Amino acid sequence: MTDAATQPTEPEPSPGRPVVLVVDDEILLRSVVAEYLRDAGFRVVEAANGREAVTVLAAGEAVDVVFSDVRMPGDVSGYDLAEWVSINRPAVHVLLTSGYVGAVSRSRHVGDSAPMLLPKPFNYERLLQQLRGLIGRPDTG
């Protein structure tokens, strides 16, 4: 799944609100999480699966952090997505989430380290803390 083609130029960091790409095949969860993050001050792009997320990132859209489910239908899992990001958009942070115990205990290494994983069900405040910690911006207001 790794992209051997020309690596897109990393866009400039978002000068205003940080951008989160939320990736989850469960629409109700995806839309609630996206709405929560928008209210918290993030700009949010929503993708229904890993392939859509790759499409957005490959198009060069400014994204600061990807928040993705691990297990999704299709050929691109959350770990596949994290691997793609580490190769093609290394400046983008990745936070994965899963309700599957196996995903937590068997988190695989992507690049030099395992991506961060937030188990489901997660506390929304904890999610905010993790995202803000990854992008290094304590407040998104």
Residues that bind another protein (CB under 8 A): 3-8, 25, 27-28, 31, 35, 45-52, 55-56, 58-61, 72-76
Compute the least distance from the CB of residue 118 to another protein, in Å: 22
Report the residue number, 30 or 93, with the smaller CB distance to another protein.
30
d(CA 98, CA 71): 7
Rounded to the nearest 10 degrees, the angle between the axes of helix 78-88 and helix 50-58 is 10
Closest approach, Cβ 105 to another protein, in A, equals: 26
- Tokens, residue 58: 């490959």
In the beta sheet, which residues pair with residue 47? 23
Q: Running DSSP on this structure, what letter comes out for residue 70?
A: S
CB of 50 to another protein, least distance (A): 7
Q: Which is nearer to another protein, 13 or 73 (CB)?
A: 73
